[in-house]
C-alpha cells in the first residue's frame, strides 16, 4: 500500500512532509522499519512474543 500526499492550497513542503510523517506513523510503517532494521533470530522473536503474552498484574 502506497501512501500518497497531494499538496493543498498554499501548503509548504515542510507541512506536506509533516502530514506524510503522521500518516506513516498512523499506518505503523515507522515501527515496522525500526523492527526490521536489524536481523532478529527466530528464537529471539519467539522469546519477545512470549514476554509480551505474559499477563502483567494491574497496579
20 assigned to some structural domain: yes
Mean pLDDT over residues 42-58, rounded? 85
Residue 13 has which C-alpha cell? 513542503
Q: Domain of 25?
A: 13-52
Q: Is 90 exceeded by the pLDDT of residue 53?
A: no
Residue 19 has which C-alpha cell? 502530514
DSSP element (H, E) containing 21: helix 13-27
Q: Is 90 exceeded by the pLDDT of residue 55?
A: no
**27 Rama sector, left if φ>0, alpha if ψ -120 to 50, beta otherwise:** alpha
Give per-residue pLDDT as tens, 8-37: 999 999 999 999 999 999 988 888 888 889
Three-class DSSP category at 50: helix
7 assigned to some structural domain: no
58 assigned to some structural domain: no
Task: Tell me how many domains the chain contains.
Answer: 1
CA distance 26 to 15: 17
Cα atoms found within 13 Å of the Cα of residue 29, Cβ hemisphere only = 11
The per-residue pLDDT for 13 is 93
35 assigned to some structural domain: yes
Amino acid at each position: 500500500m502506497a501512501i500518497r500526499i497531494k499538496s493543498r492550497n498554499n501548503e509548504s513542503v515542510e507541512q506536506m512532509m509533516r502530514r506524510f510523517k503522521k500518516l506513516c506513523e498512523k499506518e505503523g510503517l515507522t515501527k515496522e522499519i525500526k523492527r526490521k532494521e536489524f536481523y532478529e533470530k527466530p528464537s529471539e522473536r519467539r522469546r519477545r512474543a512470549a514476554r509480551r503474552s505474559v499477563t502483567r498484574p494491574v497496579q
